[in-house]
Homo-oligomer: A and B are copies of this chain.
Amino acid sequence: MNKFEAKREQSREHIMGVALTLFAETGYEKTTIRMIAQQAQISLGLLYNYYPGKDELLKEIYLKGRQEMNAALLPDGDTNPKNDIQHYILTTFRILKRNRPFWKLLYGIRMQSPVIQQLETEMHTDTKRVQDRIQDYLVNAGLPFPGLETKLLFATIDGIANHFLLHENYPVDDIVNLLLLKYQART
Contact = CB atoms under 8 A, between A and B. Distances in A.
Interface residues of A, number: 35
A8 to B, nearest CB: 15
Contacts of A112: 27-30, 108-109, 112
Contact of A165 (B111, B148, B171, B175): B111
A165 B170 CA distance: 24
A129 interface: no
B148 A155 contact: no
A152 interface: yes
Given A29-B29, A110-B166, A112-B109, A174 B148 contact: yes
Interface string A149-180: 10110111111101101100011001100110
A151 B148 CA distance: 21
Interface in A10-47: 27-30
A169 to B, nearest CB: 12
Given A108-B112, A112-B27, A148-B178, A163 B155 contact: yes
Given A27-B29, A155-B160, 9 more contacts: A27-B112, A27-B113, A29-B30, A107-B111, A148-B175, A151-B170, A152-B175, A157-B159, A158-B162
